[in-house]
Amino acid sequence: MANLEKCRESSTLSLDPSDHLVQSEHYEHPVTGTTDAPGTTLPAIDTGFQAWLQVLSGCLLLFNCWGLVLSFGTFETYYVTGGIRNTDSRSDVAWIGSLQAFLLNIGAPVLGQLTDCGHFKTLVATGSFLVVFGMMMTSLCTEYWQFFLAQGVCVGIGIGCLLIPGITIPIGWFQKRRGLALGLVTVGSTVGGVIYSIALYKLQPLIGLPWATRVFGFIALVTLIIPNVTLKQRVTPGKRSSMIDLTVFTDPVFALLIASLFFTFLGLLVPYHFIVLFAEENHIYLYGMSTFYLLPIMNAGSCIGRTFPAWLADKVGPLNVLIPGMAMSGLLVFCWIPAKTGASVIIIAIVYGFASGVVAVSPPIAAASLTEDMSRFGARTGIVFAIMSVASLLGSPISGAIIQAQDGNYDGARIYAGLVMLAGAILLLAGRMIRTKGKWLIKV
């Protein structure tokens, strides 16, 4: 807390809008809304090796954040089919992956403040250690409570320390290309999901689950070295807003954004956690391909959904991209219900991956577009991530409990996931209409 108070009292530098090194003259900081000290030389914005190096660093951090969360469905399949000694409950096992997603985002208000104050190096180093240590400890686990603590708590806290620096530091180097930069950073999430899923599937039969999990630890160790060395803030941190910005609940449009994301994230991870189990238990023939490849296929679709739509958001507005992404995600879960053939399930996996990628990449951009006083941006974004984390924690265990209650039938869980995501789309559409005063063809 002392570090946070010190941060609020210090002066700040701004992002310079020029394409070359210049002497700043009180340019406004596009993220915080504050101004820089006169006579300060700032690196170029939107261009240069250093800026794109930060994108690479952020990409590698998210490779080990959302990458581990998105690949948990592969772990879940092994755990439910005997990988954990004392449980095979889908709901119990889903709590491990949901706890990871919860801890990934819940600390955003505090960790965002620490990052803004310049303590991102400490966060990245701490997170790197906890991720590697947690995966190594997971490889030694046999009982449910051990997996819960090692993979759920330890890895979850670790990836939470990596997420905010991985997103906010690269964004600080961009202004006009901010959506594109964020899209490229979040590609690391889906690439991680693909690589970790395939690695576990290929390695488990050869060397067993414990050693396959240790390989994950070594992959994390190697890929996290680069951001620990290269991650760099563009400007000196300065005065920040309060950690919790309660004005988000008095701003009707922002409040509807938060509510829409809560409902959407209640269902967003359900296909990621259960599509492999669904295909395996229903004996879906995938033309000689293992059902485990459905998760990498979905992550590959998400990779496309995180790039082009992020670039498009810079052109047409983030809400105009996010609302269709939410609606499409919900409708695709309903389309999953009658899917009984390998071709139909593969198509659902690809297209749902794309739509969910749009939803995953857009919240920070949407929060920025709805924040007129950018000195409140950090606190507002922290609340957005915290709300998303609560929904992520609850969504998959609820679905697992529904499946369990229906004796392994997935229809109820799919109806639940589709309905909550469509509800999210409707809420955000209402917020958009308030923002635009009922007009449709407006960038927002």
pLDDT tens digits, residue range 380-401? 777 888 899 889 888 888 998 9
Q: Please tell me the predicted confidence (pLDDT) of residue 12.
A: 37
User: Among residues 368, 363, 359, 265, which one has the least CA distance to residue 306?
Assistant: 359
Q: Which of 141-145, 157-161, 230-234, 429-433 is predicted least confidently?
A: 230-234
Mean pLDDT of 42-52: 73
Q: Which residues are within 8 A (CB) of 253 and not within 5 positions of it... i.e. 6 or more apart?
A: 370, 431, 432, 434, 435
The vertex-381 CA angle with 378 and 387, nearest 5°, equals 140
- In this structure, what DSSP letter does residue 177 have? T
Domain residue ranges in the chain = 48-230+240-436
**Is 96:148 a contact under the CB 8 Å cutoff?**
yes
Question: In angstroms, rounded to a whole number, what is the distance separating the alpha carbons of residues 232 and 261?
Answer: 30
Query: Which pLDDT score is estimated for 198?
Result: 87
Range with the lowest mean pLDDT among 84-88, 121-125, 423-427, 429-433? 84-88
> Tell me: domain 48-230+240-436, CATH 1.20.1250.20, correct?
yes
Q: What are phi and psi of 374, to 5 degrees?
A: -70, -5
418, 340 contact by CB (below 8 A): no
∠ CA 359-362-363, rounded to 5°: 100
Give the pLDDT score at 179.
Answer: 75
Which long-range contacts (C-beta less than 8 Å, at least 24 apart) are formed by 196-202?
Answer: 196/67, 196/68, 196/71, 196/74, 197/70, 197/71, 197/73, 197/74, 197/292, 197/295, 197/296, 197/299, 198/292, 198/293, 198/296, 200/71, 200/74, 200/75, 200/78, 201/74, 201/290, 201/292, 201/293
Q: Is 191 exposed, middle or buried (0-12, 13-18, 19+ CB in 10 A)?
A: buried
Contacts for 320 with CB less than 8 Å, ≥ 6 apart: 313, 432, 443, 444
Specify the pLDDT at position 377: 65
Sign of CA dihedral 216, 219, 225, 226: negative
Least confident piece of the model among 315-329, 365-379, 408-422: 365-379
Return the top range by mean pLDDT from 195-204, 246-255, 425-434. Answer: 425-434
- pLDDT tens digits along 109-138: 788 778 777 888 999 999 999 999 999 999
Supply the pLDDT for residue 241: 52
337-352 pLDDT, tens digit each: 999 899 999 999 999 9
Provide the Cα torsion 358, 361, 362, 367; round to 10°: 170
Cα gap 414→52, rounded to integer Å: 40
pLDDT of res. 336:
95
Q: What pLDDT is attached to residue 178?
A: 74
Q: How confident is the model at residue 8 (pLDDT cuts 50, 70, 90)?
A: very low
Higher-confidence residue of 327 and 302: namely 327
Per-residue confidence (pLDDT) for residue 33, from 0 to 100: 41
Please report the pLDDT score of residue 37 as a whole number.
Answer: 46
Residue 353 is which amino acid?
A: G
What does the alpha-carbon distance between residue 13 and residue 34 come to, in Å, rounded to a whole number? 8
Asked if the model's pLDDT at residue 24 lies above 60, the reply is no
Average pLDDT, stretch 69-79?
83
Average pLDDT score over residue span 37-48:
58
Q: Is the Cβ–Cβ distance between 217 and 132 less than 8 Å? A: yes
- pTM comes to 0.76
Q: How far apart are CA 128 and CA 11, in angstroms?
A: 30
Q: What percent of the chain has pLDDT over 70?
A: 85
Q: What is the pLDDT of residue 240?
A: 54
- Mean residue pLDDT of the chain comes to 83
- Where helices occur in 172-317 by DSSP H, the ranges are 178-230, 252-267, 270-281, 294-305, 308-316
pLDDT, average across residues 4-27: 39
Compute the distance between CA of residue 301 and CA of residue 43 in angstroms, rounded to an integer: 35
Averaged pLDDT, 140-145: 90
Question: Which has more pLDDT, 380 or 68?
Answer: 68
d(CA 399, CA 109): 28
Euclidean distance between CA atoms 328 and 312, whole angstroms = 17
Tell me: pLDDT of 375 over 60: no
Q: Among residues of the chain, what percentage have pLDDT more than 90?
A: 37
- Residues in CB range of 167: below 8 A, 6 or more apart: 58, 62, 182, 185, 364
